[in-house]
Amino acid sequence: MIIKKAQKTDVKALVKLENETFSDANFPLSRESFYYHIKRNLLLVVYDDKFELLGYALALIHRKKAKLYSLCIQKSYRGSGIAKKLMEQLFYSLNQLNFKIIILEVRQDNYGAINFYKKLGFKQLAISLSFYKDGSNALIMERKIVN
């Protein structure tokens, strides 16, 4: 497995994975958005040994607290510890950039992701009512970069 900072050459595979994972209601990131985040934020990608894209993690870094903006692992590869490894690398990179805290928002009904974040040490801070366009609430969670 290879984890690295995303480059322009990763965008095609990122868009494919994004559209396979997130429906329109979940506002999948566009090609242009990925190009923007590669330039401006911290976007890590994970590949297998055959250079197939397995997932990505995107953190916004132009703020006091880093913010996990999106995280996605290809469906057939979930449950084997890939997201955990990717997030550990993200925490390492954020620590290098001097961030102390990372926050995130997650749909209140995304039980799998919430469980995943709790296992990584994120704590619930608040609930943001009707955060999403379909009226769903979001949990706001936070973790120290170095636990």
Ligand X SMILES: CC(C)(COP(=O)(O)OP(=O)(O)OC[C@H]1O[C@@H](n2cnc3c(N)ncnc32)[C@H](O)[C@@H]1OP(=O)(O)O)[C@@H](O)C(=O)NCCC(=O)NCCS
* Binding interface with ligand X (CB under 6 A): 21, 70-73, 78-84, 106, 110, 112-113, 115-116, 119
What's 145's DSSP letter? S
**Residue 19 or 115: which CB sits closer to ligand X?**
115
**Residue 4 or 8: which CB sits closer to ligand X?**
4
**Residue 26 or 95: which CB sits closer to ligand X?**
26
Residue closest to ligand X when measured from CB atoms: 112
Which tokens go with 112?
């799998």
* Shortest distance (Å) from residue 2 CB to ligand X: 15
* Shortest distance (Å) from residue 146 CB to ligand X: 19
Q: How far apart are the first and last CA of the chain?
A: 25
* Shortest distance (Å) from residue 73 CB to ligand X: 4
Element (H, E) at 134: none
Q: Which residues contact 125 (CB under 8 A, 6 or more apart)?
A: 103, 140, 141, 142
* Shortest distance (Å) from residue 19 CB to ligand X: 13
**Residue 8 or 36: which CB sits closer to ligand X?**
36
Strand 138-144 with 123-128, pairing: antiparallel
